[in-house]
A and B are shown apart, each in its own frame.
Chain A
Amino acid sequence: MIQPVVPFRQFVLKVHSRCDLACDHCYVYQSADQSWRNRPMVMTEETAAWAAQRIGEHAKSHQLRHVRVVLHGGEPLLAGVARLNQIAAALRAALGDVSDLDLRIHTNGVLLDDAFCEMFAALDVQVGISIDGDRAANDRHRRYADGRSSYDSVVRAIGLLSADAYRHLYAGLLCTVDVRNDPLTVYESLVALRPPRVDFLLPHATWERPPYRPQGTPAAYADWLIAIFDRWAADGRPVGIRLFDSIIGMARGCGSLTEALGTAPSDLMVIETDGAYEQADSLKVAYEGAPATGFDVFRHSLDEAAGHPGVTARQQGIAGLCDTCRKCPVVETCGGGLYAHRYRSASGFANPSVYCADLMKLIKHVRGAAQPAPHAGPAGRPAHALAMTDLDQLSSGYGDGVTVTQLGQAQQSLMRALVAAVGQAAGDATWLGHHAQDLPAAWTLLERVDREQPPVVGDVLGHPYVRVWATRCLQRLQRGPVGDPRRAAALALDLGYLAEVAMAAAIRSGTGGVVMIPVRNGSVHLPTLGRLVLHRPGSERMARVTSGADGAVTVQLGQARWRAEAVSAGVPARPAGLVFEDTGTADWQPVRRLTAPGLSIALEDTDPYRDCYEWAAEPRLSGPLHGAWDQRFRDAWDLIRRDHGAYAPGMAAGLTTVMPLSAAAADREVSATARDAFGAVAAALPASPAVLALLLIHEFQHVKLGAVLDMYDLYDKTDTRLFGAPWREDPRPLEGLLQGTYAHVAVTDVWRIRRHHVSRPDAEGAARRFAHWRAHTASAIETLAGSGSLTPLGARFVDGMRQTVAPWLDEPVPNVAGSGLSGTGSP
């Protein structure tokens, strides 16, 4: 378990503090901070070993799957092949068993030769090179101390990296902008060098030392970059340009690719040649000593350095920006620009960037030009999307009917993909042999209904347990051939659900067809409709089920036959049903409904894949028990609409199914959701409508968030760390904590409201629970926010929860003792 500090994932090792060029725009030597003068020229082997050890222990303690280290300077090649080899090898050794190490070097290139390249190839070191464009542009600043041009040397180095032997090491080119250069000439010159990626850097500047601007051009840097962007877009984006890709990516909910934009917390630490930990070295432009922390690799761990106020100041997201930035329309993308560029002596870093006007103009231009494209999926097909306002609504804990309907629409696409994948995988699995012989007919029928009445298929595939089934089948099929005949038969039984789905769709749409459906535990299942329980199923394993266009349905098993008529067929919005002839040899158990004013949902107690929760599914409910569920649901829904109306529209739009669980053990209410069962909540029948209302609200939070996570990345899925959750004894993975926190925002809200709607002594109990859950939820929100593994969108989502809960922390509550509460609590 960890404390909520943002772990460092990027390290810059200053392996040499001097340079063989004398560029007059270099922030290392030409800035306010002149600490380089007192540093050792080259990082010693001992210092490098300490640095590698510190990075390794940090990666291990924070379970970091990926770490990036950049060998930097000064000019790092001045350290020589042997020293760089030692340093790179030390890093690989320290991180080899812990993390994937992305090892890079950034150089001016003039010393690059085969010896360096061979060593980089051996240790997998990616090489980035600085060049400012064409010869004239480059030589404006990038010269030797005696004034000689560096251009030919740099181009030669890039040529070496472009050779087949080293091409895989070529990371890209960095170009510092000078608005006196012609932007398109610079762009063309860089593209001609065939880099994998380019970035354009704004020259470091502050409000104390503003950048050069031609008179009358308040956004000269934006104008310069826009000229390149337009040409780049017209060229079909022949090379990645980090600055532009970041702006476009952030408009699509991705994170920034550069610390110069966005609101992601800083996860970068610089280690100087003398072993000192320093903050981002761009801070050198602010004032003497600005990057310093006072910590070093010999005496301090990286966790200690992480607590430095200067480090944490760059991890506050939007909350850490000045008022002007927080109110800015492009703040999510800009993030205030590079931290160093905000500096003003009177107000420190609490200012907009000195490039504020440029960033605003550039971001608006790039987003405007890129806007038509973001809706395209991988092959140019439109993608499901939410308005940012809708996502904000969800992040606050709520979400209206329109928003939840949009989540459901994305689920429909997911289901089409999953079912198509099952069809394909089953068809490809020739090793299934005769076990799969009935699948083609089932698939053909499903395709036909889909062609003729797609809404009906959409409705059947929207049944929550179809995804549970499809996921299970795909996972088994992906494991390859099954040797054990019993396991093969079990898989065949699973795949037979495809026929059940197809026939259910055929019956509901009034489409004629025939399929073979497996008999499971003596029953023939028709998902969303019900099951036919056979009194004497015999030894036949497959039932022949026929649907007619006239609504007639026949189930034949051996010589036995049962007939039924479909009602409401072809009307997907209305519950369809079957009425079987009474033969005394089978019972038709239809899926029953729970109804309340304006809402009708399925009480699912027949589906073979419904038993997918932590607690066992209740067997088929008796009539009186169904009646009890129906009454309790009606009363609970009345309570939700009356007292917790903010949740009702979303639930009405997305809650389709309640699945009864076996009665709770002890005195604890039992409820659950399954990640793959969108729209369904499982619960044991609670003692009161108030408890059922609470459970439904709680669980539907999981349903909403699961659907959001299907659409968007809110956290780094490769982060496998476990985090303490205040409501559980066992630590949770990030998604588990996120899910629990989101659910408990609503739980807290329920108790917050309920304490004003019940009389004593229940009101005191409700107040106690409100106080209990708000503290736990607020604490969990901060753990999430401090995890360092949220994407920008995830950080925004968590901030939405925080903004909902924060005012509740100020609500007065009676002086209540520690509750020792567990579960979400009964009223």
Chain B
Amino acid sequence: MNPSDDQVFDLPSRVADLRPVPLAEVRASAEGELEAILQRILPGQAASRVPIAAFNSSI
């Protein structure tokens, strides 16, 4: 790999950092994040397709 700007760039994941969120508040204050995590890791959830690199001359 070449050293590049791309490589030193941080790569945020789809997993929100819930460590500072008290367990008692996860459901109420982080519902969106919770749903996103469950969607991501629970087996059998509907997988969303990775977007395609679309044909340039259409939209």
Contacts and interface: CB of A to CB of B under 8 A. Distances in A.
A724 interface: no
A419 B32 contact: no
Interface string B14-47: 1111110111101100101110111011111001
A254 B50 CA distance: 8
Nearest to B58: A106
A252 B11 contact: yes
A329 to B, nearest CB: 4
Contact of A377 (B23, B36, B43): B36
B53 A258 contact: yes
Given A282-B57, A383-B17, A475 B49 contact: no
A383 B58 contact: no
A333 interface: yes
Nearest to A253: B11
Interface SS majority for chain A: mixed
Interface in A394-433: 409-410, 412-414, 416-421, 423-424
A376 B36 CA distance: 13
A219 interface: no
Given A258-B54, A367-B5, A447-B23, 16 more contacts: A10-B54, A174-B59, A257-B52, A280-B55, A374-B12, A377-B32, A381-B30, A383-B15, A383-B17, A385-B12, A392-B1, A409-B19, A413-B15, A424-B27, A475-B43, A716-B50
Contact of A474 (B10, B13, B18, B42): B42
A192 interface: no
Interface in A310-355: 326-333, 338
A4 interface: no
Contact of A475 (B24, B36, B44): B44
B59 A379 contact: no
B53 A251 contact: no
Interface stretch (A638-646, A662-670, A706-714, A805-813): A706-714
A197 B51 CA distance: 15
A474 B38 contact: yes
Contact of B11 (A10, A199, A264, A386): A386
Contact of A378 (B22, B26, B32, B57): B32
Contacts of A386: 10-11, 13
Interface stretch (A34-42, A62-70, A619-627): A62-70
Given A65-B49, A420-B26, A389 B8 contact: yes
Contacts of A254: 50-51
Contact of B58 (A104, A374, A413, A450): A104
B17 A417 contact: no
B33 A378 contact: yes
12 contacts: A27-B57, A104-B58, A201-B57, A253-B11, A260-B56, A280-B56, A330-B4, A378-B32, A382-B16, A385-B12, A416-B23, A423-B27
- Which of A197, A375, A791 counts the most B-chain CB atoms under 10 A from its CB? A375
Interface in A259-306: 259-262, 264, 267-268, 280-282
Nearest to A174: B59
Contacts of B36: 377-378
A72 B38 contact: no
Given A10-B54, A267-B52, A386-B11, A418 B47 contact: no
Nearest to B40: A710
Interface in A199-258: 199, 201, 242, 249, 251-258
A717 interface: yes
Contacts of A718: 47-49
A253 B10 CA distance: 9
B11 A333 contact: no
A800 interface: yes
Contacts of A421: 27, 34, 38
A471 B15 contact: no
B38 A417 contact: yes
Given A367-B9, A381-B17, A475-B44, A327 B2 contact: yes
Contacts of B53: 255-259, 261-262, 264, 267
Given A447-B22, A718-B47, A383 B34 contact: no
A45 B52 CA distance: 29
User: Which of B2, B19, B38, B52 has its CB near the most chain A CB atoms (within 10 A)?
Assistant: B52
Nearest to A409: B19
Given A326-B2, A330-B4, A710-B41, A66 B15 contact: no
Contacts of A264: 53
B23 A388 contact: no
A267 B54 CA distance: 9
A345 to B, nearest CB: 22
Q: Which of B2, B14, B24 gathers most chain A CB within 10 Å?
A: B14
A374 B19 contact: no
A86 interface: no
Contacts of B57: 12, 27, 72, 106, 174, 201, 281-282
B54 A383 contact: no
Contacts of A253: 11-13
A486 interface: no
A740 interface: no
A105 B42 CA distance: 37
Nearest to B35: A378
Nearest to A373: B12
A379 B32 contact: yes
A473 to B, nearest CB: 11
A493 interface: no
Given A253-B12, A414-B15, A258 B7 contact: no
A160 B34 CA distance: 41
Contacts of A330: 4-6
Contacts of B27: 420-421, 423-424
B34 A417 contact: yes
Given A72-B57, A338-B56, A713-B50, A382 B5 contact: no
B13 A10 contact: no
A447 B21 CA distance: 11
Contact of A388 (B7, B22, B24, B32): B7
Contacts of A377: 14-17, 32-33, 36
A329 B22 contact: no
Contact of A282 (B11, B42, B56): B56
Contact of B54 (A68, A326, A389): A68
A419 B41 CA distance: 13
Interface core residue of B21, B51, B58 (most chain A CB under 10 Å): B58
Interface in A716-737: 716-718
Contacts of A15: none
A173 interface: yes
Nearest to A104: B58
B6 A388 contact: yes
A434 B9 CA distance: 52
Given A386-B10, A391-B11, A413 B16 contact: yes
A457 interface: yes
Nearest to B7: A388
B11 A471 contact: no
B13 to A, nearest CB: 4
A413 B12 contact: no
B10 A414 contact: no
A716 B33 CA distance: 22
A333 B7 CA distance: 11
A781 to B, nearest CB: 15
A458 B19 contact: yes
A332 B16 contact: no
B22 A66 contact: no
